[in-house]
Structure 1
Amino acid sequence: MELWEALAVLAAGVGAGAINAVVGSGTLFTFPVLLALGFAPVTATVSNSIGLAPGALTGAIGYRRELRGQRSRILRFGVMSFFGAITGGILLLNLPEDVFKIIVPVLIALACVLIVAQPRLNAWLRRRRPARPNGGPLLPVGIYGAGVYGGYFAAAQGIILVGLMGLSLDEELQRLNALKNALTFVVNATAAVFYITFADPDWRVVGLIAGGSVLGGYFGARFGRKLPPVALRVLVVVIGLTAAVQLLSDVFTG
């Protein structure tokens, strides 16, 4: 790997760690860079998932204040994220790459719609039923599905999680973002262990992305915690729609 290529991967890791802590979708920084440098898609996905796991941890630590009082949610939803990530890893190593190319952008776009409509939907739901601190029986199923997606591809899993939890939980957006970071770490760490065991990552890429994502995750969390709810909601939607458009363009041009 040339020096400029290593710097490009490192910079992409910093950007991915930062955007994952604030919103999600950091893989859309690193994955295209790895493909442009000539790495095979599965190798790029595997190496990227392993490298982003440490950054997901620093992002979650950066939001530790907003995680207070959410221990039961982390445990309940973390189990579903764990099993979802394993399922996604198995799918990545056994299914054709084209399977999710249409489904993924649709999921991201739907999550963006849920985030935009969340305040009105929550108000409507509160009029029809009492608030449920853990989101009701269907939310864990959605968390599992997000874990499957995260273990398979990872890009924008945070946006999908925020969309699901925002619709189901009567909670402030920053606290949902903190919970999203914790669950994303569970998915990324589980996928990383799975891929280390069963796949063949490029360890140069892993090291560069890991180093960059740790820095990005730390500073991204410090920045993201200061955003007002409206600004955070707008940022999530803009990045989510950009991700969906980019993935759809890859389908039609590739």
Structure 2
Amino acid sequence: MDGGSAVLLVAAGVASGLSGSVAGLASLFSYPALLAAGLPPVAANVTNTVALFTNTVGTAAGSRAELRGQRRRLVRLGLLAAAGGTLGAALLLTTPASAFEAVVPWLIALGSVLILLREPLRRLVERLPAREDGTSYALAGAVLLVGLYGGYFGAAAGVLMLAVLSLSASEPLPVTNAVKNIATGAANVTAAVAYAFLAPVHWGAAAALGLGCLAGSRLGPVIVRHLPEKPLRIGIALAGLGLAGSLWY
């Protein structure tokens, strides 16, 4: 990897960390940058997953206020997402990617629409039966599936997770966004560990991208904290639909 590629990846990492912590769209910048740096698709995918580990570190550091009092919820959701991430990594390592990648734009578009329709859908979800710990079975299954998707491919997994969590809790968007970042991070970390040992990770590219991600993700929660909720939610949804459209074409 030459110096120009390294600079490109650091810059893409800053953009990825910022967009990932704010909107769940880190891969919108990081994955194309890895391809532009010369990595083949599979290597770019696994390298991207490893590099985005620093997103979790940065957003956790920047979201301490929003995460206060959320420990039990984070553990519960993190375990579900981590289990899904493990399954997703196993799928990537053992199956062809073509079939699953064909579904990716549809999943991103679905998550974006769910964010736009949050309020009526939330009222519907509140009527569903819940487990003893307060987590609905629908929520548990959805978090597991989003974790699986995040471990397998990951583009806009944060949009999907934000949509799922937004339907399950009546709370300010910055809190939901912070919880989303930790949950998707749990899926990402478990997949990254598997890829570190079993997949063609480009470590130089991962280091450059991860450095930028750490800086960008640290700033993201601060921005979310000061932006009005409804325009931010609409902006996230529209960006997700834009990404889905770009993947279709």
Name the TM tier (shorter chain). over 0.9
Gaps of 5+ in 2: none
For 1:151, the aligned partner's letter is G
For 2:247, the aligned partner's letter is L
Inter-partner Cα distance in structure 1 for 2:128 and 2:158: 27
| Counterpart in the other structure of 2:2 | 2
| Counterpart in the other structure of 2:114 | 114
| Counterpart in the other structure of 1:156 | 156
8 A contact 1:118–1:166 mirrored in 2: yes
Deviation string 1:108-151 (CA, Å, 9 cap, x unpaired) is 1111111111123334555x579998441221111010000000
Question: For this pair of structures, how many residues does the alignment match?
Answer: 248
Inter-partner Cα distance in structure 1 for 2:144 and 2:241: 23
TM-score for both structures, normalised by structure 1: 0.91
Q: CA deviation at 1:2?
A: 2.1
| Counterpart in the other structure of 1:252 | none
Q: CA deviation at 1:189?
A: 1.5
For 2:246, the aligned partner's letter is Q
Deviation string 1:196-238 (CA, Å, 9 cap, x unpaired) is 1211211110110111000011112211221121122012112
Q: Determine if the alignment matches structure 1 residue 190 to structure 2 residue 190.
A: yes
8 A contact 2:112–2:163 mirrored in 1: yes
Residue pairs, 1:22-101, within 5 angstroms: 22-101=22-101
Gaps of 5+ in 1: 250-254
Deviation string 1:15-70 (CA, Å, 9 cap, x unpaired) is 11111110111112011121123211111111111111012221122112111222
Deviation string 1:53-93 (CA, Å, 9 cap, x unpaired) is 01222112211211122212111111111111111111111
Q: Which moved more, 1:76-85 or 1:51-60?
A: 51-60
Deviation string 1:158-193 (CA, Å, 9 cap, x unpaired) is 100111111222332221111101112212221111
Percent of aligned pairs sharing the same letter: 38
Structure 1 residue ranges (4+ consecutive) displaced by more than 6 angstroms after TM superposition: 129-133
Inter-partner Cα distance in structure 2 for 1:35 and 1:159: 22
Aligned CA-pair RMSD: 1.9
Residue pairs, 1:217-236, within 5 angstroms: 217-236=217-236
